[in-house]
Structure 1
Amino acid sequence: MHAFDVLGDPVRRRILELLAEGESSSGQVVEVIVAEFGISQAGVSQHLKVLRESGFATVRAEGTRRIYQLDTSPLRDIDDWLSCFRVFWDHKLSALDTEIARGKRQRVKNASDAGS
């Protein structure tokens, strides 16, 4: 399965968000996903399987628990692919940085003028 196909599913994206916060047991993932999406435990297990098989997650046994961890390798591949499109937004982000800095300077100036 292609990385974008994996990320095309909102449940799998949410699981990746959870794993980005730190490793989680399958039970913890199931609890959150069932509550947020209303799918079955078996459905969540299938999504975890897709993430494992596509390289987005690794799993290790810890007694009877299965602990999942994010593997960022496929995300780097996506980032590499997106790099050719960054030219379309880099200058806009630079302009935004400039405006944020300008706004901060103006707030500091206004605060010091008010305190005088």
Structure 2
Amino acid sequence: MDAALHALADPNRRVILEALRHAPATAGELADLVPVARPGVSRHLRVLREAGLVEAEQRAQWRVYRLCPGPLAEVHEWLDGYRQMWEQRLDALHTEVARGRHERGSTS
């Protein structure tokens, strides 16, 4: 999971992943989406491959990249515990705000 979080930390890699979420793409197509020279895009793709977030398939002279959602599911599962904690806290805040409104309304 650490490799996936490291890969997700870069905004250019997130743009690449977002594009691959919709459809597989070549490195050239992905390079058109980010303000990075092609060698930099290749390095970003290597980081994403090493994190298990994308896989490459050779088609003739092109490599076609495809999203691998497994590591994202792992990150989602880890974040879910924090999401539940914040939902409980926000629910408690909502209850306190509603209680305060009710008390102000009954004392007027």
TM range (shorter): 0.7 to 0.9
Matches within 5 A, 1:12-51: 12-33=13-34, 37=35, 39-51=36-48
- 1:71 and 2:68 aligned: yes
After TM superposition, the structure 1 = structure 2 runs for residues 1-116 of structure 1, keeping only pairs within 5 Å, are 2-33=3-34, 37=35, 39-87=36-84, 88-89=86-87
Separation in structure 2 between the aligned mates of residue 68 and residue 57 of structure 1, nearest angstrom = 6
- What residue identity is the alignment partner of 2:37? S
Aligned Cα root-mean-square deviation (Å) = 1.9
- The TM-score, its normalising length taken from structure 2, stands at 0.75
C-alpha displacement at 1:90, in angstroms?
7.2
Percent of aligned pairs with the same amino acid: 33
Aligned counterparts of 2:21 and 2:77: Cα–Cα separation in 1: 19
Moved over 2 A (4+): 89-92
Please report the TM-score for the alignment, with normalisation by the length of structure 1.
0.70
Letter in 1 for 2:76: D
Q: Secondary structure at the match of 1:48?
A: helix
- Counterpart CA distance in 2 for 1:90 and 1:14 is 32
Amino acid at match of 1:11: N
